Structure formats: C-alpha cells, structure tokens
Structure 1
Amino acid sequence: MTTTTSPETNPTPPATAPAPWPDLVSAALLGTERRLPPVTVRPGQSAAAALLDAAAVSTVRRRAALRPAPAGERPAPAPDDPRPPLPPAARRRLALLLADRGDTGGGGRRGASPDLTELLPQWLAAAGAYGYRAPEALLPALLDTARARTDLRPAALALAGPRALWLARLNDAWKFALRGTGGAAVLPEGEAPEEIARRWEEGLFAERVALLTAVRRRDPEAGRDLLGTTWSTERAEDRLMFLDSLRDGLTAGDEPFLEQALSDRSRTVRATAAELLSALPGSALAARMARRAQVCVGLDPAAGPEAVIRVEPPRECDAGMQRDGVVSKPPSGRGERSWWLGQLVEATPLGGWEAWFGGRAPEEIVALPVADNWRTELHDAWCRAAVRQRDAAWARALLGVPGAPSRTDEVAPAGSSRDLTKLLTVLPDGERAGWVAEFIAAHGLSDAFRMLGVCAVPWAEPLGRSVVDALDIARDAGSYPWSFSGVMGLAERCLDPAAADRLAMLTAVTDEPEGASPGSGGYWSEAFQRLVGTLRLRATMRAELLPPPDAGTTGGSGPTAGAAAAATARAVAGADTAAGADTAAGAATAAPGDGSAP
C-alpha cells in the first residue's frame, strides 16, 4: 500500500541553493501533492506555482550556461535624495550633453556648432547652484562621464548626490566615487553629536571628508575636535587630506592642533601644517619665521641716505627650521642658501615688513632697490607670501600697473618663479578683471591666457570687451588663427551670453590682408560664429534651469522662491574659478571646460 505524504505534515526546509534540474522534473512528473518540490514556497503561494517559478529560473540559468548558486543578498534600498528634480527641459538638456561624448579632435576643432562637451561643466555647476538632483535614469551615464573626465567629478558627484555612492558600491567601474563626493555632506539641523561621531568612525573615506568639511563649516572648533578623536590612528595620506580641510575657516584656535602636527611622522603632513600655521599671522610659527627673516633681510645701514635692501641668506638649515617646515634639500639647480631664504620670507607675516622698513607702504618697499642681485629671489618669496596670506595690498603692489611698458619684464624677470596668475586670485573679482583687461589692452593676449582663467565668470564687461577687441585686431592683422583657439574656447565659456547679438557682426568673412595665414578669413568667421552660437545656447541653458513660476508655493516641486533667487544670482554672476589657472592651462590643449556657470 502506498502512503501519500502531505506537504503540510512533512514540510521541507527552504533550499539554500537552486534545486537541481532532475529534482524539479521528478516533482513535476509525480505532482506536488505526492512530492514536495525542493523549493521555497512563499506565503500565499501554492507549491505548484513555486515549482514553476523555480523551473523558469533554472531554465534561464541553463540557457545562459550559469552554474546554480545561492542567491546573493539583496542590496539595501538607495538612500533618499530630498533635493528637487530638474525641470523637464533641463533634464532633456542633460541627456543631450551626456550623450555627446565624442572626441572633438583637440585644439584644431573647426566648424560653427557649439561644442557640447565644453558646456557640460558649466551646466553641472549651474544645476548645482540651484540645488537640483540628477534624474535617477541618468545617474549611470553621469557616473560614466565622470569616470572618463576627472575634471567633471566634483560637480557630477555633487549633482548625483548620495545615490552615487550607493551605485558605486554595486559597480567597480564607479569606485572612484567612493574616494570623493565632490561636496560637503549635509548636516541635518539638531543632529546629535553621537550620530555625527558614529558617521565619522564608520563612514567611507569620501563620506568622512565630506562630513568633516560640513562640520567644519558649521562649527570650526567642533570639526577640529572631531578630527582629533581619530587623528593618531589615521593613515598618513588620510591625515594629509583631513588636515587640508582645515584651510576653510582657519582660525587662531587651530594653532595648538597644527603645532602638534609639526611633529607628525609624515613629512607631507608636517609641511602642510607649517603652511597653514604661516597663513596665521599671529601664530608662534609665523613669529619664529619672522625673527629668522629679519636677520636675513633689512635696510643696508652702509647705503647712506638712499634706502637699499640688503640680503644675507641663512648659512645653515638647523633642526628648528626644519621642524617649522623649511625643506633643507633644494631642488636641482637651486642654491641651498637662496632656497632656505625663500622659504623663510614666504612664511613671514607681510605686515611686519612695513615696520622693519620704517613704516613704508608695500608699494614703497617693492620699489626699493635690492643689493647683490637678490631682488628676484626676494620678490618671488613676497609673491608666494601674498598668495598664502591672501594679502591684497601686497599682491597689488607686486603686480604693479598692468599697462606700464615692459611691465611683464619688471614683474616676472628672467629666472623668476613667481606666478602672476596666483597673485591675481588675491584681488577682489572686479579689480582682478580690470587689471587683466588693462594688461590685454597694453600687451595683447599672448601672456594673458592663464590670467583669464582665474577671472570671475561671466567676465565683466570691460574684460570681455578687451578680449573680443584683441581677437578682432588679430583677425584684421591676418594673424595665424589657430594660435588663438585656446582664448576663443575660453571666450565661449566665459563671455556674458548677453554679448551674443553685439558680436554677430564679427561672423562675416573678411578679406585676408597681404601676408595673412592661408584660410585665416574662413577660420575666423567660423570661430566667431561658434562663439555667438555658444553664447546663445548658454543663455537657453540658463533659462531651462529656472524653476517653474509656482515652485516657491507648491511645497516640494522645486527650490523655494528665495533659493531660486539666490541660485539665479549665482548662475548669472558666475563663480570665481578656484582652480582657474589650471583650467586655463588645460584648455590650451583642448582639455574640458572650466566648470563655470552657463
């Protein structure tokens, strides 16, 4: 007599791996009432339905030549992103920008159509200013683009938000997102210190950098204390990155922590700590450096009534100097004593020189003669100090009058290591643009390319006019047109879009003067057509990013009215390019754009 076993009276525990195909076939032939299929039966599901589901999965596996294996753990749901979605037109624009990823062929690009790959950085910056989030469906394409273009990563990851990290954990191709999120984390109001500490101790490196930056911006002391809780156990490369985050909001309260870091076992950490301390004019390190520099540099008492600066560089680099960040071994081709002198002067508070030179203003000190050919070395160090200490008065004095004849030879003589572009970043936006505009009017564009890269975007009207006038002069003179492709590319990204109609008259093909480069007339026409077309497209992109008129009252469909107004101001005025010099240098070789707003 055959006994039938009921599934209810003799249940089979769920299988931990897909059932073998023969077992599924046997259960199907005998029937689920006679043989319980070796599969997991979900609540509310019949054994027959569970058997068919398992057979379907096994069939697909067999056709795909996959070996049966336990099912992987289902990933946790993606985190919420509370930021408003993009307006529909802006969403479509982003899809077009991400789809156009072809190589433009470098600096010799021809044609009158705008280069969309150069506009993507601007679009990302503007969308970030409005506080939008990236559409979910476009996140993979956005991450792929950021993977291929490192210049886009900060803005792209900021737009992608927390879901970029979630996706990066699932796809090794996007693991770069785990090393940096491109923006500070958002600290919810009233978040408990215990929760912040937990996130600091358990988060990924990118999340910890973002968290430290956010805490630091809200409460510098709390950020420094948070870093101190794990400082001794961090890796050297991580300590360096965390220490660098103290630059924003650096205060005298950071001095004890930085003084302790001067004894760090990592040379790069010690150097960074010394640099930060020297940026605090009231720090003990700055005072030590000032005493050393005062011994080396001063007025020559033997010069008589004419004031002359005498320089006597240090004869050794002792242990105290090395602890305070002075690197003892000079680079190749550099003398030891001049190398040590430059580091001492660079770390000395600039305000002290006025007292040491009899109350003279920076302009008067810079104009003083320097004995024994030490002028270039001394002025170069003062330039680096002005950049480090963000001293506009000294930067202004060291830059001088931009329109003066041969000013470039005076400011940066042969053998000088100073960087005029970095000096310009110390000046306010309007003054910086005016200085570069006057420089271009006096000296042309050949030496101004990197200077243009650090000017606020969109360019102020005088600066934009000087650039266009210089390009027009070059066209009329029949100059070799391709040598101006880098400046033309910057103009496409940085000119105010409102200038498009005024520039339309430059798109006509002109007669080539005698001796002009062959084909230059057609090239200049194409270049100006592309410039005008790009400016108009940037204006359209800006309009597409504007939130709907009722966004401020619908409660969640877009930015509030106040936020929209602020974002509009930022998008229209543009942001000062923090790394503009590097951007300009990259643009010279047809690198991606400068990341400014459309």
Structure 2
Amino acid sequence: MTSITDDALWEELVTSALLGTDRRTPPDTVTATGKDAPAALLDAAAIHTVRRRAGLVPAPAAARPEPAPDDTRRHLPVPARRRLAQLLADRSAPSSGGRRGTAPDLTELLPQWLAAANEQGYRVPPPLLPALLDAARARTDLRPQALAFAGALGLWLARFNPEWKFALRGSSGGGALLPDVSDEDAVQRLWEEGLFAERVALLAAVRAHDADRARTLLTGTWPTERAEDRLMFLDSLRTGLTDADEPFLEQALTDRSRNVRATAAELLSALPHSALAGRMAARAVSCVGPDRSGDGSSASIAVEAPHECDADMQRDGVVPTPPTGRGERSWWLGQLVEAAPLTVWAERLGGRSAQEIVALPVADGWGEELHAAWCRAALRQRDADWSRALLGPPGTPPQTGPGTSSLAERSKLLATLPDEERAAWVAQFIAAHGLSEAFQLLGVCEVPWSEPLGRAVVDALDIARDAGSYPWSFSGVMGLAERCLDPAEASRLELLTATPDEVEGASPGAGGYWSEAFQRLVSTLRLREAMRQELMPPA
C-alpha cells in the first residue's frame, strides 16, 4: 500500500512538473540540476508511478449484472436493419442556402419506421440499441415507439447509463418483460420491486385481464407512492374506465396532490352515471337554461354564471383561481359545464338534439364560453354526436358556422369521429377553404391519408402552385404530405415535378421551387414504400 511519504513525494513531483524546475526545486530524489533537471524529473515521476500502481490493493470485484432478458420477438430482415442504421445515423446531407433540396428528410421518417416495426412484432438489433436510446433521449416524440421497440433489453441496458434514465420512468412501460398476469406471486413481486416503467406496464396488463385485481394492486401501495407516480397510475385508468372505478376515484378526490385530485375529478366526470357527474349536472343546469325573458317568438339560451366557488365545488375538481385574464365567474361556469354529462342538455333545453342546441343563440355574449365548455365535454366524454354539432358543416366558414370557430378545438373534436368520417370532413373543408387553415386538422387524420383526403391536399397544392406564389407558406402541409400521403400517389404526382412556365404576376423562380418540393415529395413517398417492403416478413 502506498505510504503517506510516497503520497507527499508524488505531490512534490507533480508540483515541480507543473511549475517547472526553474521555479520549483525538485525533491531530493531528482539529483540532476540545470538543463538535465527536467528529464530527470520525468524519469523520477515514471519510476514513482510504477511504484504507486504496484502497491495498489485490488478492490473487491463488483457483483456481475443479471443477464439481459430474452426477447422472443422476430429478428429484423437484413434490409430493414440496414435502413434503421441509416435512419439513426441521419445521413441526409443538409442542402446549401437553407433549401431542403429533393432528398427525403430521414429524421422525419424514423417515427413512422418504428411504428411499422412495432406493428410487425420485430425486436431491436442489439448493436443498434445504444443509437436508438440516444435518439429517444434527444427527441421525446420518439420515446413511446422507441421504448416499445427496444423492449425489455432496452430497459436492462438503460440501467447502466445515466443518460438513458428517461427509459426507466417512461409511462409506456418500454416494452418491459412482464410475468404471466395469472401468476399472482410474480405480479405482486414486480409491483412491489419493479421499476416505475415496469409497474405502469404491469398495471395496464393486469387491468386488461382483471380490472378488480389491478385496483387492488393500486390501492395496496397508493398511500406510499410519490405524487407524480400516483398521477401517472391514475392516468392509466383512462383505458377501460368503468363505473367500478368510481369508489377509488372518489377517494382520490381528497388526495394531497392537486393534480391527482383534478385528474380524479376529470375521470369521474367521464362516467355519466357517477355521483360527481350528477353533482356537476345539477350545478350546470342551474346556470344554463332556456331564456324566458323574451317575447317567446324565438328560443335562446340564458346563462347565469356562479357567484362563488364553494368548498364542495373545489372538492369536485373546480379550480377556484382563474388564469390571468380570465374572469372568475366565466372560469367557474366553464368547469361546471365541461364536467356535466352532455345528456342533460336535451332535457334541459326542450328535448332538442345536439345540432339544434348548438344552433340556439346564447344571451348576453356567453355563446363563446358555453360552446368552448361543450367542446371540452364532448372530448372528455368522447361524444361523436356533440362533436359533429360543434364542428358544423365543413363547407361553412368557421366564423359564421353554428359551432366553434377555433381550429384547435375543431382538430380535437375531429379526433372523436371515426377515421373515414374524419378524413372526409377535412377533405371537404380543404375543398371549400383551401390549405391555409387546414394544417391542424390534417394532423389528426389517420395515416396514410384516405384517397379522397390525399387528392384534396394534392389538388389544393396544385392550385397554389398555379397561382404563382412561393411554396414556403405551404411547407408545413408539404411536410405532412411527405409523411402521410399514401405512397401509391407517387406516380400521379410525377406530372407536378416538372418546372411550370412562369405566368404573368408569378413570383420569380417560384416554379422551380415548386418543382423541387414535388420532387422531394415523390422521392419520400417512394422511400416510404421501400421501407414498408423491407419490413414485410419473409415469405
């Protein structure tokens, strides 16, 4: 073992080397002087280094990690494995001058590739796992699909690198290797000892098999869970939410975490027969009803917002303090209407349908607030009839329609409709109003886009090109088209890759830019088709 004297000697040698032998006299072990002193100092340091290393006592060997879990999913085909390596490396060279050029953007195709690989049930090639985790660390939008693809091996590896700790707390479970849900001992052991991601995945698996057993697991450890973990566990109850969850959620209304209380109240309000939904309905209908102050010649809605937010309202999830710029009474009203079952309004407003109710005028300027609350209620309760009513006809200008004019609210409402109906509505909207307001709406449509929707987008882009403007204002829609158009549309788009003749009044060089954009679109669609073929299992 190295002595204290040896340590002091080593410090002297290091100090002399740092300051120089001209400014610091070397220790006595360095006998040379003058110009030979530096070389002698280095020789002494080398000898002393060997002595120090030779005197070290080996530390006890650390315990070997448990072997990585087996992954029984299929191996990737060789072409798909090469493609994944290319996507992770992002070999697409940036174009000069800020222009994207005609080459596909590989980074934008990685999420789609991962989704397709997961659908086919492939497992990650181990040599590419570190690069995959690095990509997921840098891009949060990749994490759900990347962790599912990484599987249990990804969780195992993430324990050895602090930069990958996000995988250990991923809400998706990260493809954790779970025990048979019928093995109660194994389930209980993983629930008590597992990583958070494993426990979330386990809770979802047990809940799909036996919802009562899942609630028993959750209630058994609920008081000792951290607030953020309680919130995530509670959020997982959204899938398969039933009236049987009501007693547990009612207890969560008194949780010490405000976010947990708010989530419990939201889930309870999504159960139309829950006691909380009934309480909210009673409060909401006392504030909103038929307007009886007129002459009766036309029906309308009257609103009397609440004057206070009492303790019972707060227990049921009503937040008393509004955001900056919002009035208290309108803030409270919106929360009450949002949490009330939508079925109460037909009885309250004369047996009218959702379309008829939304079309009624609202007195005293409360219409926008009331419609916004109904939008949130339709989303929470996944009510397609109310969503259709609040969306209004796609051909009607949003500002004059009977429902909401907010594109953000419209895109959320569309998500409650069946895929085909959603795509048809957006296609008609684009045909009537063009692409300027369609970006958010396109983002909620099923991929690949249906043929009518794809044709509507391409036709609108063609019209914009013929108008002679630059394509930059449509870059967002063009980027969506690259990721969402059916690859079968590539052949039809070939005609648009040619540079059109410049028309009078057109922006200089706009035709060339449009040609470049359509070339990139066609090449991206063909690459997506090649990726799909590479992921097909061998015959």
Once residues 269 and 365 of structure 2 are traced to their aligned partners in structure 1, the CA distance between those partners, rounded to angstroms, is 27
Residue 96 of structure 1: which of 56, 77, 86 is its match?
Answer: 86
CA–CA separation in structure 1 for the residues paired with 2:409 and 2:223: 36
Tell me how far apart the structure 2 counterparts of residues 163 and 398 of structure 1 sit (CA, whole Å).
46
Q: How does 1:567-582 map to 2 (within 5 A)?
A: none
Q: Distance in 2 between matches of 1:226 and 1:202?
A: 13
Residue 538 of structure 1 is aligned with which of 512, 515, 528?
528
In 1, the alpha carbon distance for the partners of 2:123 and 2:205 equals 19
Amino acid at match of 1:429: D
> CA separation in 2, counterparts of 1:386 and 1:363?
13
2 CA distance for matches of 1:215 and 1:297?
42
Separation of aligned partners in 1, 2:418 and 2:193: 41
Give the secondary structure class of the aligned counterpart of 1:81: coil
Kindly indicate whether the alpha-carbon contact (under 8 Å) linking 1:154 and 1:182 is maintained by their aligned counterparts in 2.
yes
Q: 5+ unaligned residues in a row in structure 1: which ranges?
A: 1-60, 550-598
Cα-Cα RMSD: 2.3
Say which of 315, 330, 335 aligns to 1:323.
315
Q: Does the CA contact (< 8 Å) of 1:298 and 1:356 recur in 2?
A: yes
The whole-number CA distance in structure 1 between the counterparts of 2:96 and 2:222 is: 45
- Provide the C-alpha distance between the structure 2 equivalents of 1:102 and 1:546, rounded to a whole number of angstroms: 24
Residue number in structure 1 paired with 2:364: 372
- 1:420 deviates by 1.1
Give the one of 215, 223, 230 matched to 1:224.
Answer: 215
Q: Is the 8 A contact 2:392 2:402 kept in 1?
A: no
Which residue in the other structure is 1:143 paired with?
A: 133
Q: Distance in 2 between matches of 1:355 and 1:288?
A: 16
Residues 1:175 and 2:172 aligned together:
no
Contact residue 108 and residue 485 of structure 1 kept, 8 A = no
Map 1:85-484 to 2 at 5 A: 85-100=75-90, 104=94, 109-180=99-170, 182-183=172-173, 185=176, 187-189=178-180, 191-303=182-294, 304-407=296-399, 411-413=403-405, 419-484=409-474
On the 8 A contact 2:407/2:441 being kept in 1, the answer is no
Residues 68, 532 of structure 1: alpha-carbon distance in 2 compared, 3 angstrom cutoff: farther
Q: Distance in 2 between matches of 1:421 and 1:147?
A: 29
Give CA deviations for 1:44-99 in whole Å, capped at 9, x if unaligned.
xxxxxxxxxxxxxxxxx979x89764243322211111111111111111111111
Change (3 A) 1:126 1:107: farther
Q: Is the alpha carbon distance of 1:410 and 1:358 closer, same or farther for their aligned partners in structure 2, counting shifts above 3 Å?
A: closer
Does the CA-based 8 Å contact 2:179-2:186 persist in structure 1?
no
Bigger mean CA offset, 137-146 vs 273-282: 137-146
- In the superposition, the TM-score normalised over structure 1's length comes to 0.78
Query: Cα deviation per residue 1:202-225 (whole Å; 9 max; x = unaligned)?
Result: 011111111112212222222222
Whole-angstrom distance in 2 between the partners of 1:532 and 1:417: 29
CA distance, structure 2, for counterparts of residue 460 and residue 100 of structure 1: 29
Q: How far is 1:462 from its partner? A: 0.6
Closer, same or farther: CA 436–162 of 1 in aligned 2, 3 Å: same
Amino acid at match of 1:383: C
Structure 1 residue 193, shift from structure 2 partner = 1.1
Q: Deviations over 1:367-418 (max 9, x none)?
A: 11111111111111001100010000000001010102455665445xx696
CA change 1:139–1:68 in 2 (3 A) is farther
Deviates more, 1:513-522 or 1:453-462: 513-522
Q: Does the CA-based 8 Å contact 1:133-1:159 persist in structure 2? A: yes
2: CA distance, partners of 1:395 / 1:106: 46
**Aligned partner letter, 2:331:** W
* 1:369 to 1:410, Cα distance in 2 relative to 1, 3 A: closer
Give a deviation string over 1:427-484, Cα, whole Å, max 9, x none.
1111100111111111111111011010000001110001001111111101231111
Instruction: Please give the alpha-carbon distance, in whole angstroms, between the structure 2 residues aligned to 1:417 and 1:121.
Output: 25
CA drift at 1:533: 0.7
- Take 1:149 and 1:459, find their aligned partners in 2: how far apart are those partners? 25
Per-residue deviation, residues 228-284 of structure 1 (Å, max 9, x unmatched)? 110011111110011000000000000000000000111110000000000111110
1:191 CA displacement: 3.7
SS in 2 for 1:298: strand
Partners of 1:417 and 1:380 lie apart in 2 by 12
Deviation at 1:548, TM superposition (A): 1.2
Residues 411 and 441 in structure 2, CA contact (< 8 A), matched pair in contact too: yes
> In structure 1, how many angstroms separate the alpha carbons of the residues matched to 2:137 and 2:341?
42
> Quick check: 1:498 aligned with 2:488?
yes
* 1:147–1:376 CA distance, 2 compared to 1 (3 A): same
Query: Quick check: 2:448–2:486 contact (8 Å CA) kept in 1?
Result: yes
1:82 aligns with 2:79: no
SS state of the match for residue 301, structure 1? coil
- Is the 8 Å Cα contact of residues 296 and 312 (structure 1) preserved in structure 2? yes
Q: How far apart are residue 104 of structure 1 and its match?
A: 4.9
- Name the structure with the higher helix share: 2
Contact kept? 1:244, 1:272, Cα under 8 Å: yes
How much has 1:517 moved relative to structure 2? 2.6
Cα distance change, pair 357–236 in 1 and its aligned pair in 2 (3 A): same
Alpha carbons of 1:105 and 1:208: their partners in 2 closer, same or farther (altered >3 Å)? farther
Do 1:496 and 1:535's aligned partners in 2 also have CA atoms closer than 8 Å? yes
Query: What is the CA distance between 1:149 and its match in structure 2?
Result: 1.4
Q: Among the aligned pairs, what percent are the same residue?
A: 70
Greater relative contact order structure (CA < 8 Å, 6+ sep): 1
**Correspondence for 2:507:** 517
For normalisation by structure 2, the TM-score amounts to 0.86
**2-side partners of 1:516 and 1:87: how far apart?**
49
**What is the DSSP-based 3-state SS (H/G/I as helix, E as strand, rest coil) of the residue aligned with 2:293?**
helix
Aligned partners of 1:106, 1:221: CA distance in 2, in Å? 60
Q: Partner letter of residue 520 of structure 1?
A: A
Distance 1:143 1:546 in 2: 24
- Alignment-mate amino acid for residue 332 of structure 1: T
Q: Deviations over 1:502-536 (max 9, x none)?
A: 11111000122233233211111111011111111
